Amino acid sequence: MAVKKGQQIELRIDSTAFKGKGVGRHEGRAVFVPGTAPGDLVEVRIVKKKKKFLEGKVTQMIEPSPLRRVPKCTHANVCGGCTWQHLPYPEQLKIKEQHVRDHIERIAGLDPAIVKPIIGCEQEFYYRNKMEYSFGTKRWLTEAEIQSDEYVDDTAFAAGMHAPGRYDKILNLKECHLQHEISFRILDFVRSYCKENKIPAFDTHQKTGYMRHLVIRNSHYTNDLMVNFVTFRDDEEIISGLSDAVLNKFPEITTIVNNINDQPNPTAIGRYENILHGPGFIVDHIGNHTFKIHANAFFQTNTRQAEHLYSVAREFCELQSEDHLFDLYCGVGTLSLFMASDVSKVTGIELVDVAIENANFNAKENDVENVQFVKGDMKDTFNDEFLKKTGKPDVIITDPPRAGMHPDVVEQFISIDVPRLVYVSCNPSTMARDLAILKEAFEIECVQPVDMFPQTYHIEAVAKLRQRLTVH
């Protein structure tokens, strides 16, 4: 009899897949179950039924996998910040490397042997240099509260992470181990201060209240520490009291800013910003270059591991002193500057205005003169007319968003005469899709996975491509 939605089934988990979900098979169909590990025997309730697969939720752990460990964090099973705390880090790395191999073989149609052993992270906890916490008027209930026969009030001042899939409910964090431990202590203090002083959280439905986000940034190579209060309105009396209290409790904070987001959008980027203490930025390093990082500027979230990622990319580029390097989707120019001393010239292309501003600022701050940054949409900018103005590249490095590259950009790579291409990806599945097309004109020599985000399913990869002598 065909399985139905809501039905309970017994399932052995044998692998992992999309977004870190465990996978078992029932009546020939894959069943995706979050929070499971290979080897688990579980009772599952079917919550989604599709033609080719099913999705389920664990209702009982019958026999836990021998791979399992006790998560470090009590929120690990409900918070969207971590996916795999129940797996030892070496096992996480094996799974991530295998995922990249699977994408290369199944999507790109390439030999998975070209995938090199994964580069793991030196720190599996406390590796992030930025955490963005949210405030809300509704908290996410615990599993015990959800299952309770009695009414449970979910209205409360909550501070932590958005519950997975819910923009309006906040998981009221009691701990977090992704950023330096001072990060959570600051969050806990701010939450208590706001409750004691009756400072309201922002209500997403009523569009009222005050506290929206708390963003904390710390430097890896310096002692700089930033606190960014994102509020719904500009209220000098409230924010000065809060700022003074936080600074008194945590004198190691080097700068405090207040971003005012009085718009409907839920982002932690304000329409304008006030500096309350210090210079309004922190300073960190990647390689030999120094970066001033403002509250809303992009910077790689794992500083030390970003250096490993960039070093792989630089090695794959095989840079020569006379080379003209193109850095596509260049962001704030960190990768461009990292490569600049090894080449004659770097041309970066980026769509986002503020990123281009930051890239030019970073180049000036580091006295790097052989770089130029061009604002434009890649599919419209990276064309023959652009190449006539700038000259052809000797090597291209591309670091697109999760969606991968636009088909026009992929085709342009094939049509121009570029001997070396390096593809940096935060989503190996879309990279594999693009490589399936690029292999017409390029030999895909190798792919290097790099783990930037332990405890999560996210994985970065760098592909090394060399132009074929004859393009058919």
What does the pLDDT look like over 342-391, one tens digit per residue? 999 999 999 888 889 889 999 999 999 999 999 988 888 888 888 889 99
pLDDT category at 145 given cuts 50, 70, 90 is: very low
Q: Does residue 362 sit in the same domain as residue 273?
A: no
pLDDT given at position 146 = 47
Does 186 map to a domain? Answer: yes
Selected catalytic residue, list 79, 194, 426, 446: 426
- Strand 15-16 versus strand 420-425 pairing type: unpaired
Statement: residue 153 has pLDDT above 50: no
- Per-residue pLDDT averaged across 45-69, rounded? 94
**CATH number where 321 lies:** 3.40.50.150
Does 206 map to a domain? Answer: yes
Q: Does residue 289 sit in the same domain as residue 397?
A: no
Statement: residue 321 has pLDDT above 50: yes
Statement: residue 80 has pLDDT above 70: yes
Q: Does residue 195 sit in the same domain as residue 327?
A: no
Q: Is 426 one of the annotated active-site residues of the chain?
A: yes
Q: What percent of the chain stands above pLDDT 90?
A: 73
Distance from C-alpha of 377 to C-alpha of 391, rounded to nearest angstrom: 19
Residue at which a domain ends, from 294, 321, 345: 294
Does 84 map to a domain? Answer: no
Does 388 map to a domain? Answer: yes
Contacts of 244 (CB under 8 A, 6+ apart): none
Residue at which a domain ends, from 254, 269, 294: 294
Statement: residue 112 has pLDDT above 50: yes
Q: Does residue 333 sit in the same domain as residue 412?
A: yes
Q: Does residue 114 sit in the same domain as residue 146?
A: no
- Per-residue pLDDT averaged across 57-67, rounded? 95
**Residue of 455, 426, 355, 417 lying closest to 87 (CA atoms):** 455
Q: Does residue 57 sit in the same domain as residue 13?
A: yes
Amino acid symbol at 165: G
Number of structural domains in the chain: 3
pLDDT given at position 139 = 66
pLDDT given at position 259 = 97
Query: Does residue 305 contact residue 450 with C-beta atoms inside 8 Å?
Result: yes
Distance from C-alpha of 291 to C-alpha of 277, rounded to nearest angstrom: 19
Does 231 map to a domain? Answer: yes
pLDDT category at 138 given cuts 50, 70, 90 is: confident
Provide the mean pLDDT of the chain: 91
194: domain range? 130-294
Handedness of CA 340, 342, 343, 349 (dihedral sign): negative
Three-state DSSP string of the chain: CCCCCCCEEEEECCEECHHHCEEEEECCEEEEECCCCCCCEEEEEEEEECCCEEEEEEEEEEECCCCCCCCCCCCCCCCCCCCCCCCCHHHHHHHHHHHHHHHHHHCCCCCHHHECCCECCCCCCCCECEEEEEEEEEECCCHHHHHCCCCCCCEEEEEEEECCCCCCCEEECCCCCCECCHHHHHHHHHHHHHHHCCCCECECCCCECCEEEEEEEECCCCCCEEEEEEECCCCHHHHHHHHHHHHHHCCCCCEEEEEECCCCCCCCCCCEEEEEECCCEEEEEECCEEEEEECCCCCCCCHHHHHHHHHHHHHHHCCCCCCEEEEECCCCCHHHHHHHCCCCEEEEEECCHHHHHHHHHHHHHCCCCCEEEEECCHHHHCCHHHHHHHCCCCEEEECCCCCCCCHHHHHHHHHCCCCEEEEEECCHHHHHHHHHHHCCCEEEEEEEEECCCCCCCCCEEEEEEEECCCCC
Q: Does residue 246 sit in the same domain as residue 368?
A: no
- Strand 8-12 versus strand 41-49 pairing type: antiparallel
Does 171 map to a domain? Answer: yes
Q: Does residue 197 sit in the same domain as residue 336?
A: no
**CATH number where 263 lies:** 2.40.50.1070
- Per-residue pLDDT averaged across 439-445, rounded? 96
Statement: residue 164 has pLDDT above 80: no
**Residue of 339, 314, 130 lying closest to 220 (CA atoms):** 130
Q: Does residue 315 sit in the same domain as residue 461?
A: yes
Statement: residue 396 has pLDDT above 80: yes
Does 77 map to a domain? Answer: no
